[in-house]
Amino acid sequence: QIMFFVISALSATSVGSSVLVAQSVGARDLARASRLAKQSLVWSVIISIPLLLVGLFAADPIISIFGMEPEPSKVGADYLRVTMGTLSVLTLMLLGGGVLRGIGDSRTPMLITLLANVVNVFFAYGFIFGEFGLPELGAVGSAWGTFISRAVGFAILFWVMWRGVKGVSIRGADGWWPDWNVARQILRIGLPAATEQMLNSVAFLTMSIAVAQLGTLALAAHRVALNAMQISFLPGLGFALAATAMVGQSTGARRPDEAKAVTTIATQWALVWMGVLAVVFLFFAEKIIAIFTPDPTVVALGGAGLRAIALTQPFWAIGMVQSGGLRGTGNTQYPLRVGTTGIWAAVLLGAAASYLTGGQYGLIPIWAAFLITAPITSFLTWRKFRTTIDGDIKALV
């Protein structure tokens, strides 16, 4: 949970690099894009240092918060020390991937991540069980496998960026000294996105706490429904990233009509993919839950919750991609305010409805609350993107 929280924040921070590089590429200022790529790598290391120190020196008190027995607490602390120690490599990978997406290359980060996962599986298994001639380290061996996989991933990513992509390269000695002005630009865009991700993570954690009041079986059903929801989010997130990169390039090139067109197309594709998943959830909800557990109560509770999630898919698709388009213009404040407010409102509404009805409707009130907030936030985000493109961007042309 701690690492998911940290990774979501770092991933969102890479949005700043992606947007600035995309706008530079759109303006055909490849020298600035190359300098931004170098500065992104430099500042990724600087950002990771305090997190690394927290992991090394505060692992024991952090793990003690969860109130576990001494033996698993020791395992958790050892694991946290190693994984937090890899944050410098992780941030380099995340921000480097953001740079490549800003250039318009999302395939290379995907292939590097795929290879890193294969390496992770091999070394994690080897270190945990002492296979393949590797020492047996137990659970902490998984952390060392993650460290090696991230190091391999970054080495390949660095080589790709050194060689250059579409005229953008980190080759050369100039531009490596930390530039606070560049860092301020990256953080101005990236920090709101990071804050949005962290607040949303806390919101869903709060949601799980509310569901826990309904009992263990309801919580189990909720966790399965969350897994399905995370899968359904992937197409929306993918097309949102595409919109961010392409709108960034269109903004840099002062082509507002193109920015509007690519966001419309990305939204349409997100609607298709997430719409298909919505149909699957509606008609096969219980069968999906039954993959995880044979318990009939969990299947019934989870199936009802999954159908509520299905009905919200189209609104989430629109909201995600339109937010991605806004980020491409450099506006990450509005998605933070509207998106986070919508999610927290749904969580609180759902918890209140569940409490007032005595929990007799299971997960339905918890998840159905998003049917109230998602249409509103999606419309507001869509309208804001249109006014930004038609107003602020056109004024620059």
pLDDT, average across residues 232-255: 91
Residue 101, pLDDT above cutoff 80: yes
What pLDDT is attached to residue 381?
96
Specify the range with the lowest mean pLDDT, choosing from 104-108, 211-215, 258-262.
211-215
Kindly indicate the confidence band of residue 70, based on its pLDDT and cuts at 50, 70 and 90: confident
Q: Enumerate residues 6+ apart whose C-beta is below 8 A from 225.
A: 289, 302, 305, 306, 309, 363, 367
* φ/ψ of residue 367, rounded to 5: -90, -30
CA distances to 193, 237, 271 from 381, rounded to whole Å, are: 15, 15, 16
pTM for the complete prediction? 0.82
Contact 282, 314 (CB under 8 A): no
pLDDT, average across residues 370-390: 93
pLDDT, average across residues 220-240: 86
Residue 397, pLDDT above cutoff 80: no
Tokens of residue 254, six digits: 């002062």
pLDDT, average across residues 367-386: 94
Kindly indicate the confidence band of residue 394, based on its pLDDT and cuts at 50, 70 and 90: low
Alpha carbon 389 to its chain centroid, in Å, reads: 25
Q: Enumerate residues 6+ apart whose C-beta is below 8 A from 104.
A: 22, 25, 166, 245, 246, 249
At 165, is the secondary structure helix, strand, or coil?
strand
Looking at per-residue pLDDT, the higher value among 95 and 141 belongs to 141
Q: What is the largest CA-CA distance in the chain?
A: 66
Kindly indicate the confidence band of residue 46, based on its pLDDT and cuts at 50, 70 and 90: confident
- Range of 6-10, 226-230, 317-321 with top mean pLDDT: 317-321
CA–CA distance, 30 with 377 (Å, rounded to integer): 36
CA–CA distance, 274 with 264 (Å, rounded to integer): 15
Residues β-bridged to residue 165? 168
Specify the range with the lowest mean pLDDT, choosing from 24-28, 50-54, 355-359.
50-54
Residue 237, pLDDT above cutoff 60: yes
State in Å, rounded, how far the first CA of the chain is from the last one: 46
CA–CA distance, 250 with 258 (Å, rounded to integer): 6
Contact 109, 17 (CB under 8 A): no
CA–CA distance, 289 with 286 (Å, rounded to integer): 5
Could you tell me which of 266, 239, 353, 368 has the C-alpha nearest to residue 311? 368
| Residue pLDDT, tens place only, 104-140 | 898 999 999 999 999 999 999 999 999 999 999 988 8
pLDDT, average across residues 181-188: 88
CA–CA distance, 97 with 42 (Å, rounded to integer): 14
| Residue pLDDT, tens place only, 310-364 | 899 999 999 999 999 999 999 999 999 999 999 999 999 999 998 898 888 888 8
Tokens of residue 287, six digits: 């069968």
DSSP labels, 82-107: HHHHTHHHHHHHHHHHHHHHHHT--H
Q: How many CB atoms lie within 10 A of CB 226?
A: 18
Chain mean pLDDT for the chain:
88
Contact 329, 247 (CB under 8 A): yes
Residue 10, pLDDT above cutoff 80: no
- % the chain with pLDDT above 70: 96
Looking at per-residue pLDDT, the higher value among 122 and 96 belongs to 122
CA–CA distance, 296 with 97 (Å, rounded to integer): 43
